[in-house]
Structure 1
Amino acid sequence: MAKTADDDTAEGIASTDLVTEVEAGPALSVPDGPMAAWLEDHFEAYADEPAALIREGDSFEDVRFAELLEEARAVAGGLLELGLEPGDRIGIRAPTRYEWSVADVATHLAGLVLVPVYPSFSADQATHVVDDADASVLITEDDYPDELEDAVDEIVPIDDLPTAEPPELAGYDADDDEPATIIYTSGTTGDPKGCTITHRNLLAATAMVDERLSLESGNVGTCFLPLSHIYQRVGNYYLWGTGNAAAFMTVDDLKDELGMVEPELLVTVPRVYRRVYAGIQDQIAEMSGAKRRLMEWADGVAKAYGEGRSEGESVSSALAAKHALAEKLVFSTLREELGLTQVEYALTGAASIDADLLHYFWGLGIPLVEVYGSTEVTGPSTMNKPDSFRAGTVGYPMAGSEVGLAADGEVLYRGPNVMEGYWNNEAATADSIVDGWYHTGDIGEFDEDGFLTIVDRKKRMAVLDTGKNVSPNRVETALNRDRFVADSMAIADGRKFVTALLQPNYEAVLDLATDEGIAFDESATERDDSEEVVAVDPALLEDDHVHERFETALESANETLASYEEVGDYRLLERALSVDREELTPTLKKRRPTIEERYADRIESMYAE
């Protein structure tokens, strides 16, 4: 029998002192667990259908549900032969790959608790995770820090997972409210905290996504985001629960692999969509004459059409005709070049995305919707729906859940996917979950139709020395709209006015240097494994032509901001913010204290009298 979400009424909850406004999602039936039984039921139901696509040379090969289940059972047996007992924690430190998911399913079957360790964690952070979780075994690739060898009893190579004839697997007897996984959040400060996620949490989150999407079986979804993060992992569970395949891809080869796979479901983050859009804008900038005018016209049509769809109103017949023409002349070709011809749903989560970008992709024919949530709620808490969305908002509450606002505007969340608590940290749990409500730390507001807008992180809200409140997120969103700005960080708290550190779109700057004949040290240009430029000669960024272009970007951003939010000065960064330099978390959130300390001189120079 299915379990249903709590049926407390919004009126009853709103009468408490804690919550001032409440919006509730539709009813939800959470499947019976545990995860082992749920996975087996679905894997057997879709036994002959593809469960995974794996890159083999120049093509992708299918792995059937029956094959994946057989592999996972054997690995479950192998892990138990290491002496592990049901309920024991086992770490996994590896990038996203098929074997990661085999281990994931295997631990559910064996009744073990999987503890992901981000490969980008420092040796101290990784050691903290396995120590805090008391994990005695670690599955990993070869390049692990030496400190981890001393922190666990056994290292298991992910390329050679142990196998054995499985005994009676204890995972089928696990209680729905027992821990299924412990996921350590990559916070911007302090040691990572372990979110204790139960079987019921995972099943509820998966059912919530299923209520919002309607993907039929036999299709393909992407899997290239970190499986160490709950977002991609729940995405895979959703795919498997609906009889669809997860295509294991790599970020470095994403463009080619999207064309090879042609997915129906795209699961990714704003940075990927921004990169795609910036690439299109760079192509347009290199064009001339009628072709450039056509592309610029189509760009405007896409945004106007997407904005019309976002407001839930029928677009005018004139705009519909323009869109049909742009579809024929431009959009269909662009989708083919991007490998997105079959996309039915495109999800974006883990960070905010600009409404203009959402409008553009909708106009392009890619139904892009924003998901809002966190590890503490096993992924989703609100989500737009393709047939009911509003760009600039994060949608409305997931089925079976409630979203409330505290008196200070903090977003509160309650539902069957809220974690049990922080592992080994009762104090942090008590601070975060009060009367069943998870305190998100975000400031938000509802519109008249119940769509939620996230204003900023509660701790990030800045107050100028004039007393005016500034949302750094709002300022950064305005700056990031310009194709020459890859990322930005607003500085405001306690200051006279707002300033910003800007990470340029280095490709665009290099193109400008070529066009204007700017001399610079080309040997200082650095590229990452995906050939994206991540550093340039600092002298290049001091050129007058470059500064003129960024002054234009600043003026455009300031036109959309209140007078007290306007950016008064900026500094350009010659090197991209990165996880390796501990400026970004593994989920690409900025570590502001680190960045502010590293660039303190530049920041202070903007406020010098």
Structure 2
Amino acid sequence: MATAPRVGGLADVVFDHADSEPDRVALARKDEAGHWQEVTSEQFRDEVMALAKGLLAQGVRFGDRVGIMSRTRYEWTLFDFALWSVGAQSVPLYPTSSAEQVFWMLHNADVSACLVEHEDHAMTVGSVIDRIPGLRKLWQLDRDPVAELTAAGAHIEDDVVHRHRMAVTPDAIATIIYTSGTTGRPKGCVITHANFMAEADNVVMRHETVFHSKPGDEAATLLFLPLAHVFGRMVQVAAIRGRVKLAHQPELAARALLPDLQTFRPTFILAVPYIFEKVFAAARRKAEADGKVGPFDKAVEVAVRYAEALEHKAFGTASGPGAALRMQHQLFDKLVYSKVREAMGGRVRHAMSGGSAMERRLGLFFAGAGVTIYEGYGLTESTAAATANPPERTRYGTVGIPIPGTTVHIAEDGEIWLHGGQIFQGYHNDPKATDAVLHDGWFATGDLGALDEDGYLTITGRKKEVLVTSGGKTVSPVALEERVRAHPLVAQCIVVGNDRPFIAALVTLDPEAVTHWLAMRGKPEMPPSDLVRDPDLETEVRRAVVAANTLVSQAESIRTFRILANQFSEEHGLLTPSLKLKRKAIEAAYSVEVDALYHT
């Protein structure tokens, strides 16, 4: 188990690494031509130092809070470590936040300066700036504030930054990360330098072997998760502390992400299930378009059986894959699995997944295809991962065992409680909310779960999301939604039924999958309003619903569903920035459609 140091803060490692390995490649960034340029430990240290001096020159002081509103990019990491070098605190803002959300976070955190990515963000902040009198500085990334700040601080001695850095203690606040607000106004989670150190160092210590594609090679990861989200920030800190070459990609969309995976070629990635679902769906669509869907589906079955056999062997319940299965697996490795790995750059052999549940079968397929995905679980309040599957004994469909230094307890009502060095200090300026979830160092997560005989955690739902029908039946919607969403044509699914006579669902479609499905069946493109009434498409979605219903009793099953013409989007306030459903907002926006489910 790794424990946080007794002295120092997160920026120290940048300076330590530059002293011990100045020429080691620490990061990579794209130049204007789109080519990856290497950044050594020494170069990164020098850039952090120059920016830190500029921040001091422009009035940022020890303990000040600075907002960062940007997509995932190199400069975010640079600003984070420069701010920590002078004892300041970063406050991430999602790039898609509304003006009112931006106001609330900047005001609540008492931010004195803000970094935004471009003009639109600047206008969003500008529209509320008169209500935030403490906000004195606004920098815009597309106007090269790094050069401006570097020039402004050129006259300041390095020792001034070092004195600030040496004054940072592990219990000092590193950042205030606001929750994504699925159940109301976002709350600011106060996370210290010690919280990040305990989290990142234990994850690195437990999983360092999986950062490499083969023993002895360099470890490299492409970070495409939002840095405004705790998962992305943990990856950033862990990569810098763990000497993992780090690059950034600002878009989660497959069309932008996949080319960068090809050129950067990471050895492992950290992602949400959505990414792995997209990679799998794209591979299957290509196979179908090439007239090879039969062999592809056979390859999937072989991969799943092969991974299951290895899983049984790891837990001592069977001897592993038999000779015939090994031969089939070897054949499909050349024909199918190698192409799936190539879509992720070719070197990825391991990945970590969090943010939401991954279907067991999908995890088994990727493991059988040569990319083991270690599913984990955590929250903003636990500085990301509290549990993760261990490399040597992965149990697919679970979120693993506690990471070193963490304890998991299941309360009498099934709620998951967590204890460890990464548990946050509380909600900023909200003692009532803090007292509701922190109990003598234990954090009551609000999530429901169960531990099996080997200590592996399975998430079964969320306390506030449990539905109670008018007949008194209690239903956790998550497992049903995940199974419906496993169908290639389905993008999203929300299960409804609170105070209603039975359970029903609203379903949205994946446009790429639908376009492919229409083409393969010789059907013409049609407007969404006609598409949702297509009887063949409805039959496909019904299959997904029937498959989901096999997980539950008849009283908990989805009785009816409605296909919607448009997806739930963050822009319309129906998804959080981490792509979680805002249930109340969706039910309000689609109240007519929900009512119709019960009056047909």
- Taking structure 2 as the reference length, the TM-score comes to 0.91
Distance in 2 of aligned mates of 1:375 and 1:349: 12
Partner of 2:484: 479
Distance in 1 of aligned mates of 2:234 and 2:411: 28
1:80 to 44, 47, 56: 56
Partner of 1:538: 529
Q: Aligned to 1:333, what secondary structure does the other structure show?
A: helix
Partner of 2:9: 34
Give the superposed CA RMSD. Answer: 1.8
Percent identity over the alignment is: 32
1:328 to 334, 344, 348: 334
1:565 is the counterpart of 2:556: yes
Partner of 1:451: 456
1:516 deviation in Å?
4.4
2:174 to 180, 201, 221: 180
1:263 is the counterpart of 2:266: yes
1:512 deviation in Å?
3.3
Partner of 1:428: 433
1:147 to 110, 116, 127: 127
Q: Residue 365 and residue 305 in structure 1: after superposition, are their counterparts in 2 closer, same or farther (change >3 A)?
A: same
8 Å contact kept, 1:31–1:207: no
Distance in 1 of aligned mates of 2:13 and 2:29: 24
Partner of 2:109: 133
1:396 deviation in Å?
0.5
Partner of 1:305: 306
1:557 deviation in Å?
2.6
Distance in 1 of aligned mates of 2:405 and 2:587: 41
| Amino acid aligned to 2:235 | G
8 Å contact kept, 2:401–2:457: yes
8 Å contact kept, 1:86–1:171: no
The aligned runs of 1:354-503 (5 Å cut-off) are: 354-503=359-508
The aligned runs of 1:97-246 (5 Å cut-off) are: 97-141=73-117, 142-144=119-121, 145=124, 146-150=126-130, 151=132, 152-158=135-141, 159-161=144-146, 162-163=149-150, 164-165=153-154, 166-167=156-157, 168-169=160-161, 170-214=164-208, 215=211, 218-246=218-246
Structure 2: unaligned runs, 5 residues or longer:
none
Moved more, 366-375 or 313-322: 313-322
Structure 1: unaligned runs, 5 residues or longer:
1-26, 522-535
Once the two structures are superposed, residues 184-237 of structure 1 have per-residue CA deviations (whole angstroms, 9 ceiling, x without a partner) of 111113221111111100110111211221236732111111111111111122
1:387 deviation in Å?
1.4
Once the two structures are superposed, residues 433-456 of structure 1 have per-residue CA deviations (whole angstroms, 9 ceiling, x without a partner) of 011100110001000000000101
Q: Aligned to 1:86, what secondary structure does the other structure show?
A: coil
Partner of 1:15: none
Partner of 1:11: none
Partner of 1:525: none
1:262 deviation in Å?
1.1
1:148 deviation in Å?
4.2
8 Å contact kept, 2:199–2:385: yes
Distance in 2 of aligned mates of 1:263 and 1:226: 18
8 Å contact kept, 1:112–1:171: no
- Taking structure 1 as the reference length, the TM-score comes to 0.90
Once the two structures are superposed, residues 140-193 of structure 1 have per-residue CA deviations (whole angstroms, 9 ceiling, x without a partner) of 122221224433211112231312134422122112111111111111132211
1:47 deviation in Å?
2.0
Partner of 1:60: 36
8 Å contact kept, 1:345–1:386: no
Partner of 1:18: none
2:69 to 77, 82, 93: 93
Distance in 1 of aligned mates of 2:544 and 2:193: 48
Once the two structures are superposed, residues 328-361 of structure 1 have per-residue CA deviations (whole angstroms, 9 ceiling, x without a partner) of 222123322x034211420111111111110111
| Amino acid aligned to 1:589 | K
2:580 to 569, 586, 589: 589
Moved more, 477-486 or 305-314: 305-314
Indicate the structure whose relative CO is greater, using CA pairs within 8 Å and at least 6 residues apart: 1
Once the two structures are superposed, residues 248-292 of structure 1 have per-residue CA deviations (whole angstroms, 9 ceiling, x without a partner) of 12334111110111101201111111111111222233243xx33
| Amino acid aligned to 1:321 | M
Q: Residue 75 and residue 315 in structure 1: after superposition, are their counterparts in 2 closer, same or farther (change >3 A)?
A: same
Q: Aligned to 1:35, what secondary structure does the other structure show?
A: coil
Partner of 1:602: 593
1:51 deviation in Å?
1.7
